[in-house]
A and B are shown apart, each in its own frame.
Chain A
Amino acid sequence: MKNEKVEEAAMEEKNTASVATAVKSKRNNGKLPKRKFWKDWRLYLMLIPGLISLIVFSYVPLYGLQLAFKTYKPTLGIWGSPWVGFENFQYAVASRGFLKMVGNTLALGGLKIIFAFPSSIILALMMNEVTNKPFKKTVQTVSYLPYFISWVIVNSIVNMFLLKDGGVLNKIIVAFGGDPIFWYAESKYWRAIITISGIWKNVGWGTIVFLSALTNINPDLYEASQIDGAGRWKQCMYITIPGIMPAIAMTFILSVSGIVKDDFEQIYALVGESSILSDKTEVLGTWVYKSLKGSFLGWGDATAVGLVQSIAGFVLVILSNWLVQKTDNQGLW
């Protein structure tokens, strides 16, 4: 009897103790007491070099965006230059060839989404069907290679194909009895050339994300579906593609803002300042660069164009992320 009572008392004590802690933790919203700032001063110190770099090279230029609403006067600096409202935007829009330039940017960006984006997925699916390990490894290794060379080098390869005399493509055309084409004098081919060279450089590299997603698909699913009589095609449609959907969604978000953000690095390397080709290849980026190299009078307009481009890219990322989340896939955040 005595023992029982002691036990009961002990139980009660425990109960009240646990209630007390429960009350206590409620008072702190269930969180640990807030940590003191100064305790982690070393961690904050570590952030400083990175913060300085971000502020100087990313946030100061953001502050410089006010140039979009000003007329730049070198003697007065960005801060002191007079405000002009939306005049720069109006000038930019009214300038010769502006619409064509916007059209080129959107066309090249659209081609990239339509052709370059799926190309990596298709290549990854093809590689995934290969059962011969050494063959697969070779294809992978070789297809990643172009990612490691610069656009300047790619330009030399494009040269190699397209030179009027001695270029490989013209040699082939002549061998089949055709007339050589002056590629560098005809702008109509260049959207295709830019798109194809972009795919050539990036397609192999793009497969990595999808290949790693493919290895995460449960192999039991394939076995089960085989028993149910599903063929290869059905397996691909109902197991493989849904299995890599999150990877596809993420790549899509990351590439969709490319529609408005032109690949200056690529286009300038391939086309340079050729005025013959600019009809189909002049994009916002190359125009802004030319304004930079030109007189400072055009800098306000060019900044305005850059600002619109940044905003459009930002909005596209947010929109596509929202869209992806809406369709039940994980977004970027």
Chain B
Amino acid sequence: MKITKGRLAFNIVNYTLLSLLTLCFVIPYIYILSASFSDEIAFTKAGFTLLPREWSLKAYTFLLTTDGQMLRSILNSVIVTVAGTVLVTFVSMLYAYPLSKKYLRGNKLFSIIMIFTMLFSGGLIPYFLTVSNIFPEASLLTLIIPGCMAPYYAILLRNFFMGIPDSLEEACKIDGGTDFLILFRIYFPLSMPVIATVALFAAVSKWNDYVAPLLFVSTDKTKFTLQFLIQQLLSDVSGIYASGGSEIVPAQTLKYAAVVFGSLPMIMLYPFLQKYYITGMVLGGVKE
């Protein structure tokens, strides 16, 4: 194909704009990384720079060695993410399987019960009262159990299940297999791509959530998750790490070191997970 002048001009503009845009997505993160590896005093003098003026690991060592708050929050986040992900994937899968069976009586009704909750919610105050009635104390369970049935994930799973030929189910039923056996032995292994997708969606949203901790565990420092701890640090370091004692608190740089802890797992993992995500997004568009 010959390239016209207009086409060439368009290409140059297009590639340039996209390159600039790509930099816009990366550079902020480099600034944050640089700040986290900076010496506190040099940082307060020079501000944000692409490379640290004076390298220092002080912010990291401070976070990891001071009164265990950081480690505890990381542990809490890991517990909530792992347990929450397993639970929500399992419950949504159990709900999705019967919905994928056209012959099940009441199928429509159960779909409507589920979809209605996506369109209409009770709002913050009734939700808060409900959850805090069930869990009166600040506890990690409040971050794991509420919302353990996610309509959006169930729809993704149902759409995928509907694509699996019925003949497999019928053959298994003739051999005397129950629905549970069919789900776990036949559908589960065949649905690995979509189950991975759902689990990853769930893991990212659990790891990144700070609103549920803000509502339910903000009174108890030992229950803070990592994202919520970072949110507290960004607004007021002294609320978490009171100054005083022999050690000087690297108040600015430690915020950014905490940010690196909070974002690194997802940034490292995500290039490997990308393809699952795209499957999920495409599958979500499939309708009955």
> Residues of A with Cβ closer than 8 Å to B?
34-35, 37, 40, 42-44, 46-47, 49-51, 53-54, 56-65, 67, 78, 123, 126-127, 129-130, 132, 135, 138-139, 141-146, 148-153, 155-157, 159-161, 163, 165-168, 171, 200, 204, 208-209, 212, 231-232, 247, 250, 264-265, 268-269, 272, 285, 288-289, 291-292, 299, 302-303, 305-307, 309-311, 313-314, 317, 330
Contact = CB atoms under 8 A, between A and B. Distances in A.
Given A49-B149, A152-B230, A171-B48, A157 B131 contact: no
Contacts of A209: 281-282, 285
Nearest to A247: B285
A139 B263 contact: no
A310 B17 contact: no
Nearest to B117: A58
Interface string B47-69: 11000000000000000000000
Nearest to B218: A293
Given A35-B105, A145-B267, A269-B231, A58 B121 contact: yes
Interface in B7-26: 7, 10-11, 14-15, 17-19, 21-22, 24-26
Contacts of A46: 94-95, 97-98, 179-180, 183
Contacts of A126: 14, 17-18
A49 B149 CA distance: 8
Interface of B: 6-7, 10-11, 14-15, 17-19, 21-22, 24-26, 28-29, 31-32, 35, 43-44, 46-48, 91-92, 94-95, 97-98, 101, 103-105, 110, 113-114, 117, 119-131, 134, 146-149, 154, 178-180, 183, 204, 207-211, 214-215, 227-228, 230-231, 234-235, 255-256, 259, 262-263, 266-267, 270-271, 274, 277-278, 281-282, 285, 287
Given A64-B122, A64-B129, A204-B25, A153 B149 contact: no
B119 A160 contact: no
A43 B98 contact: yes
Contacts of B117: 54, 58-59
Nearest to A43: B98
20 contacts: A35-B103, A43-B98, A43-B179, A47-B110, A57-B131, A64-B126, A67-B125, A135-B18, A138-B22, A142-B22, A144-B270, A149-B266, A152-B210, A153-B263, A167-B48, A171-B48, A212-B281, A269-B210, A292-B124, A305-B123
Contacts of A67: 125-126, 129
Contact of A310 (B110, B122, B209): B122
A155 B235 CA distance: 10
Nearest to A49: B91
A40 B183 CA distance: 14
B121 A61 contact: yes
Contacts of B263: 149-150, 153
Contacts of B7: 232
B113 A156 contact: no
Nearest to A64: B126
A299 to B, nearest CB: 5
A135 B15 contact: yes
A251 to B, nearest CB: 10
Contacts of B46: 166
Given A54-B114, A142-B25, A307-B123, 15 more contacts: A40-B104, A49-B94, A50-B91, A53-B147, A56-B134, A57-B149, A65-B126, A123-B21, A141-B271, A146-B25, A153-B263, A157-B28, A200-B25, A265-B210, A305-B123
Contacts of B47: 163, 165-168, 171
Q: Specify which of A42, A160, A167, A314 lies most central, judged by the most chain B CB atoms within 10 Å of its CB.
A: A160
Q: Specify which of A34, A146, A291 lies most central, judged by the most chain B CB atoms within 10 Å of its CB.
A: A146
A259 B21 CA distance: 27
A104 B81 CA distance: 34
A306 B123 contact: yes
Contact of A57 (B14, B103, B146): B146
Contacts of A149: 208, 262-263, 266-267
Contacts of A63: 122, 126
Contact of B235 (A264, A272, A313): A272
B10 to A, nearest CB: 7
Q: Specify which of B119, B120, B124, B281 lies most central, judged by the most chain A CB atoms within 10 Å of its CB.
A: B124
